[in-house]
Each structure stands twice: as C-alpha cells, then as structure tokens.
C-alpha cells in the first residue's frame, strides 16, 4: 500500500533565457507514493500559489509516455532514476521518505532554457524539416503486402520510429550530441523502400542542420542509449554514419 512521504526539492528557477538562474529549495510533507512525478510538481505549484509565489514552469502534455514533452533532469538522470520511462511515468514510490530530489532542465546549447524547467526543443523540429520525411507521392493506402519488406527491416524501422524526440539523449550526452535522435529518424526511413528515393539528400541535410544548431559530436559513450525512454539502439548511429558517408561519396 502506498504511503505519504516528506521530500525536499531543489528546483532550478530561471525567469527567462537571458536571466541568471539558480536552485531554490522547497519542502513537501505529504506526498503520496502513488502519485506521478508531475502530479507531485502540481502539488508543489498549488502550494506555491497559495503562498503567493510564482509556480514552477515545466512542460507536459499527454502524461502517458507518448509525447516526450516532460523533459526533466532528475537526480542526474533524464526522466529520473527509473529506466525505459518518461518523467510522467515516474512515480514517487521510487523515492524514499526524507529524500532530496534535484530537478533541472535539459542542459544543451541546442535546447536554450525558456523558463524554469522548460527548454526550447524546436531544434529537433528544424532537423526533421531538413529532411525527415518522404516527399515522393506514394498514392493511397496500399494493401499490407503490396510492397514486400523483409520482416527484419520492418522491425528495425519500427524500433527506430519508437523515438519520441524528447531530447533525453542530448541531455545524457556529455557532448550534447543529437546523433541518436537524428539516426533514429534517418533509420526509420532508410530501412524502407519508400525512404530510399531521398536517402542521400536526407542524411546530408539532417546532419548538416544538426551541426548548424550547435549539437555536439558523438563519442560513443552510450549514455544516450542507456537513458532513452524508448530504448532506441545506438546501432542506428552506425547506420546514419553509413548513410552519410555513402551520400558524400556519391557527390
């Protein structure tokens, strides 16, 4: 049976992108271990509002592990200490009574802080716009077996497509690299026949945009894979490198 616990929160507060930020400490005395991490932040904000203080700004939408907006760095881990989940799926039963919890925004040159725990992740949208789509006219919805795709390739494409673009890979990487995200988006199309038409242009365009937006280089520490809530494999990075090199050789 879930019980109530008391916790100490050290939360990053920052009024704007150009403002100097810092940690503020809050106490919560009655938090149900059955509540989610975001519900706990709701409780904190209700307490702050009742005290006449500004609530903590944080991103959220679906609260079902689908959208990836709940991008919080908790006790040194993107999305918190549990594995294969997003922040909204993290429950307070993972924390002991009397625990101190440090909550920060994503730290990356590509994700500037908007306010408090919210960061601007529009950089990922720009990378997708650079080439993460299929522009060839594929007509209406084909029969399931109209385009033969080997099951192995279909499974790998689906695994890559599981990426929700939350940015945990960037936050986990000591270099702030977006290679896992970009490689997942390239792989989900490169593995399918519909995506081969623009494969060369796509790889070059998306890597170029990633570099332009200030993301760091990959040094294969595998922190991205370890912290990814959807367990996207770094084998996709190897595929991206092959696609990119092939595209450059074809120039």
Strand order in the sheet with 22-32: 22-32, 4-13, 100-104, 73-74, 77-78
What is each CA distance from 48 to 16, 54, 213, in whole angstroms?
A: 19, 6, 36
Q: How confident is the model at residue 144 (pLDDT cuts 50, 70, 90)?
A: low
Q: How confident is the model at residue 110 (pLDDT cuts 50, 70, 90)?
A: very high
Positive or negative, the Cα torsion across 136, 141, 142, 144?
positive
Instruction: Identify the pLDDT of residue 188.
Output: 95
Mean pLDDT of the chain: 94
User: Which residues lie below 8 Å from residue 219, measured CB to CB, with a gap of 6+?
Assistant: 174, 175, 177
Q: Which domains does the chain have, with CATH numbers?
A: 4-104 (3.10.20.30), 121-250 (1.10.1060.10)
Q: How confident is the model at residue 229 (pLDDT cuts 50, 70, 90)?
A: very high
Residue 40 token pair: 């706990």
Instruction: Identify the pLDDT of residue 18.
Output: 92
Residue 183, pLDDT > 70, answer yes
Residue 5, pLDDT > 70, answer yes
Average confidence (pLDDT) over 223-227? 97
Q: Is the pTM of this model over 0.85?
A: yes
Average confidence (pLDDT) over 186-202? 92
Task: Confirm if 83 and 150 have CB atoms less than 8 A apart.
Answer: no
Residue 147, pLDDT > 90, answer no
Average confidence (pLDDT) over 119-136? 92
Residue 134 token pair: 């299929």
E strand map for 51-183? 73-74, 77-78, 100-104, 113-115, 118-119
Average confidence (pLDDT) over 167-194? 95
Give, as one character, the DSSP assignment of residue 55: P
Q: How confident is the model at residue 194 (pLDDT cuts 50, 70, 90)?
A: confident
Does 143 or 29 have the greater pLDDT score?
29
Note the pLDDT tens digit of each residue in 28-55: 999 999 999 999 999 999 999 999 999 9
């Amino acid at each position: 049976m879930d019980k109530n616990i008391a916790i100490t929160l050290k939360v990053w507060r920052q009024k704007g992108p150009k403002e100097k930020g810092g940690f503020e400490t809050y106490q919560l005395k009655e938090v149900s271990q059955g509540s989610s991490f975001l519900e706990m932040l709701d409780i904190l904000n209700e307490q702050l509002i009742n005290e006449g203080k500004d609530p903590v700004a944080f991103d959220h939408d679906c609260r079902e592990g689908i959208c990836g907006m709940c991008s919080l760095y908790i006790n040194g881990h993107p999305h918190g200490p549990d594995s294969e989940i997003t922040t909204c799926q993290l429950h307070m039963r993972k924390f002991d009574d009397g625990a101190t919890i440090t909550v920060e925004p994503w730290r990356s040159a590509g994700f500037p802080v908007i306010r408090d725990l919210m960061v601007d992740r529009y950089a990922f949208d720009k990378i997708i716009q650079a080439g993460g789509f299929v522009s060839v006219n594929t007509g209406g919805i084909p029969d399931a077996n109209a385009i033969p795709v080997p099951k192995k390739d279909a499974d790998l494409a689906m695994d890559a497509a599981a990426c929700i673009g939350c940015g945990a890979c960037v936050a986990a990487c000591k270099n702030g690299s977006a290679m896992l995200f970009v490689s997942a988006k390239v792989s989900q199309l490169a593995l399918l026949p519909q995506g081969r038409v623009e494969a060369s242009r796509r790889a070059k365009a998306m890597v170029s945009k990633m570099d332009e937006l200030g993301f760091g280089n990959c040094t294969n520490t595998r922190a991205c894979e370890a912290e990814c809530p959807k367990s996207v494999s770094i084998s996709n990075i190897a595929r991206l490198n092959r696609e990119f090199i092939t595209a450059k050789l074809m120039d």
